[in-house]
């Protein structure tokens, strides 16, 4: 590295190191969709590692990690402001403050990782190759932990289109994140170390191993190919729950469905913006007759209630198969349920239906259209450990979303990228039907087979296969990645003692 970024200079100028970390974190946001510049997924973390190595105290390393996180999330999840202010009705200054505060909350696990890596009694090589990748992964898992977890911008997603994604069927996106961080460390060692051949050789071996794994087929087709139609109504968020828009919304979806001959028709999340018991039965009967005419079923996103204070964000099926229901399990904080003591925020946001009940944690896949369909709603598909619950029984994944909440921002592209990673982890195709985009069909290898343009009304007709079998990730979840990370931490300490 240049003298300007030498470790001695960084130790003497800790505030400058934090400022550099902010810009490095912001640069990492460009590694994710929709920008997708993968070299940034190696170069930006490599710079963070160098800054960590140059910190003189654990406290300085913690601040560097926090600053890196603030740069990453302030830019990468800037759509939170759009959701709060433009569509949530929150005053702009309060929305801006809330967004910065939320980014700070997302950044503290990286501060903890920076602090711990500095405190470990290991040398620089072991720190770069073992400790830091493992602690980075644990920090990301900590951020995504629990009911209010937010595993957005996990580093592994930036590797969706690279050889490193070949490891996803084994260790999931968190494991891919660990390996991507390891690749960044090897890159740093190759650029700054006295012995450069070995790190480069290991990096090539890491990429080569992933490319080989991408050639393996972890699952096999189940039944004949399925014809499907994914409907995109393109209803603006500020009009979605407008009573004057209700009839037009229903007419649009009925028209799109009636012209389809597919065996499976999928409508987006809350496509029918009224409780199921308040929907005209004749309308539902007409949609069901379309599905029966096609010899299949239709999935409809509609709120569903079982009592005055018990209602769910649900998907129901109508058609040749018995009617079935899936109710969303992982709800969005403040958007779909209220945390104790935070009711005032919901009042400011003016979000319709903002206190849903959570569906049962374990729900069987829907037996429709000749397949076992595992439905997930909106951002449920960013939680890989939850998506595998109905597997390997389920043969097809279906996601229904309403991305209109985030406007013309980075969010829809990022969400599609995460859905693609779910298909790689599980060896299952996914059909994603959204209100305004990205409506798409994804094969089991993460490849987008077809996609509708954003902010257009339309129907995407596609033929997909269901798949049986199970990847290793489906069988053991994140435990293999956790074991690998723990082994690396133990190895780094052992190397130091040796």
Query: Could you give the residue numbers annotated as active site?
Result: 269, 328, 378
DSSP-derived 3-state class of residue 50: helix
Residue 259 to residues 207, 264, 265, 291, 438: CA-CA distances in angstroms? 46, 13, 11, 11, 21
**Distance, CA of 215 to CA of 175 (rounded, Å):** 19
Token reading at 246: 């209700």
Q: Strand 440-442's sheet: what is its strand order?
A: 366-368, 371-377, 396-401, 430-434, 440-442, 448-451
State the Cα angle at 371 between 367 and 372, rounded to 5°.
Answer: 55
Residue 434 near residue 111, CB atoms below 8 Å: no
Residue 313 near residue 269, CB atoms below 8 Å: yes
Residue 271 to residues 149, 233, 261, 490, 495: CA-CA distances in angstroms? 26, 8, 20, 50, 57
**Distance, CA of 164 to CA of 154 (rounded, Å):** 14
State the burial class of residue 310 (Cβ atoms within 10 Å of its Cβ: 0-12, 13-18, 19+): exposed
Residue 437 near residue 406, CB atoms below 8 Å: no
Residue 467 near residue 365, CB atoms below 8 Å: no
**Distance, CA of 212 to CA of 204 (rounded, Å):** 12
**Distance, CA of 238 to CA of 447 (rounded, Å):** 33
Q: At a CB cut-off of 8 Å and minimum separation 6, what does 191 contact? A: 1, 46
**Distance, CA of 371 to CA of 375 (rounded, Å):** 12
In sign, the C-alpha dihedral spanning 253, 256, 259, 265 is negative
Characterize the bridge pairing of strands 264-266 and 310-319.
Answer: unpaired
């Amino acid at each position: 590295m240049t003298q300007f970024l030498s470790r001695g200079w960084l130790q003497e100028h800790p505030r400058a190191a934090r400022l550099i970390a902010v810009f490095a974190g912001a640069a990492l946001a460009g590694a994710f969709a929709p920008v997708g510049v993968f070299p940034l997924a190696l170069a930006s973390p490599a710079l963070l590692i160098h800054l960590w190595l140059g910190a003189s105290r654990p406290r300085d390393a913690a601040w560097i990690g926090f600053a890196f996180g603030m740069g990453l999330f302030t830019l990468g999840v800037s759509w939170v402001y759009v959701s709060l202010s433009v569509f949530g009705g929150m005053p702009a200054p309060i929305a801006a403050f809330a967004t910065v505060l939320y980014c700070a909350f997302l950044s503290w696990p990286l501060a903890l990782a920076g602090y711990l890596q500095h405190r470990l009694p290991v040398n620089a090589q072991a720190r770069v190759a073992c400790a830091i990748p493992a602690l980075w992964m644990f920090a990301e898992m900590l951020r995504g932990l629990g009911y209010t977890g937010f595993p957005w911008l996990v580093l592994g997603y930036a590797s969706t289109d690279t050889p490193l994604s070949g490891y996803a069927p084994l260790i999931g996106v968190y494991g891919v994140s660990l390996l991507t961080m390891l690749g960044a460390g090897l890159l740093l060692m190759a650029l700054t170390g006295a012995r450069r051949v070995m790190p480069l050789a290991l990096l090539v071996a890491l990429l080569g191993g992933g490319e080989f794994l991408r050639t393996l087929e972890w699952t096999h087709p189940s039944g004949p190919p399925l014809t499907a139609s994914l409907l995109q109504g393109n209803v603006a968020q500020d009009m979605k729950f407008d009573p004057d828009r209700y009839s037009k919304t229903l007419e649009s979806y009925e028209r799109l469905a009636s012209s389809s001959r597919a065996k499976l028709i999928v409508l987006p999340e809350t496509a029918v913006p009224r409780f199921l018991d308040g929907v005209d039965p004749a309308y539902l009967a007409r949609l069901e007759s379309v599905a029966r005419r096609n010899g299949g079923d239709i999935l409809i996103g509609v709120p569903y209630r079982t009592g005055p204070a018990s209602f769910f964000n649900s998907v129901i099926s109508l058609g040749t198969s018995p009617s079935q229901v899936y109710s969303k399990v992982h709800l969005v904080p403040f958007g779909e349920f209220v945390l104790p003591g935070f009711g005032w925020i919901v009042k400011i946001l003016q979000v319709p239906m903002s206190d849903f009940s959570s569906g049962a944690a374990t729900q069987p896949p829907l037996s429709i259209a000749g397949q076992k369909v595992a439905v997930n709603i909106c951002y449920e598909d960013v939680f890989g450990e939850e998506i595998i619950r109905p597997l390997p029984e389920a043969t097809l994944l279906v996601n229904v979303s309403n991305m209109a909440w985030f406007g013309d921002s980075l969010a829809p592209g990022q969400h599609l990228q995460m859905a693609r990673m779910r298909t790689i982890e599980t060896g299952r195709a996914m059909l994603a039907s959204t209100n305004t985009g990205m409506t798409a069909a994804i094969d089991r290898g993460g490849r987008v087979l077809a996609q509708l343009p954003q902010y257009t009304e339309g129907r995407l007709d596609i033929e997909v296969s269901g798949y049986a079998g199970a990847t290793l990730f489906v069988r053991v979840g994140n435990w293999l990645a956790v074991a690998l990370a723990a082994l690396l931490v133990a190895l780094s300490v052992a190397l130091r003692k040796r």
